Amino acid sequence: MKTAVLIARLALGLIYLVFGLDYFLNFMSHIINFPPAGEKADAFFGALGATGYFFPFLKTIEIICAVFLLINRYTAFFAVVLFPITMNIFMLYACLAHPYIPLGTGMLVLNIFMLFSYRKNYSDLLSATPKI
């Protein structure tokens, strides 16, 4: 089990680190030719990009979380922080960018597996009557 958690943690960390850094450094387009995401997905990305703040903020969060996953510090916390991002990536790919469904599904499976693996760390968080 520890080996599976290690692999999941490193894989999810590397995915988020590479794609987070790619936003700022733009190196992936020189290595991989990605298939088109689709007209609706492009419009969605265009709207988010037009805000001016969304992608720099999101990618900075992704990089920070990825670094902590890779160095294995506060891993349970950062697995929770990444879950809404992962879920949105999966939903975007499932609804608008079908060629990327395998990547979104893989990320979601890794994130859920990590949340399940660290479930004992969330017992106080999920308490119906929190302690003060």
Q: What is the average per-residue pLDDT within 52-81?
A: 97
As a whole number of angstroms, the distance between CA 110 and CA 91 comes to 15
**Is residue 131 scored above 80 in pLDDT?**
no
* Distance from C-alpha of 22 to C-alpha of 132, rounded to nearest angstrom: 43
What's the pLDDT at 67?
Answer: 98
The stretch 11-39 carries a mean pLDDT of 90
What's the pLDDT at 127? Answer: 80
With a CB cutoff of 8 Å and minimum separation 6, the contacts of 132 are none
pLDDT at 29 over 80: no
Q: What was the pLDDT predicted at 38?
A: 85
Name the residue type at position 55.
F
Residue 130, pLDDT above cutoff 80: no
Residue 66, CB half-sphere, CA atoms under 13 Å: how many? 20
Torsion angle of alpha carbons 123, 16, 44, 31, nearest 10°? -160
Kindly state the tokens that stand for 96.
């608008």
pLDDT digits (tens, 9 = 90+) for 37-50: 889 999 999 999 99
Residue partners of 4: CB distance under 8 A and separation at least 6 = 113, 117
**Section 13-41 average pLDDT:** 89
- Report the mean per-residue pLDDT for the chain: 93
Tokens of 14: 């590397």
Q: What is the CA radius of gyration of the chain?
A: 16
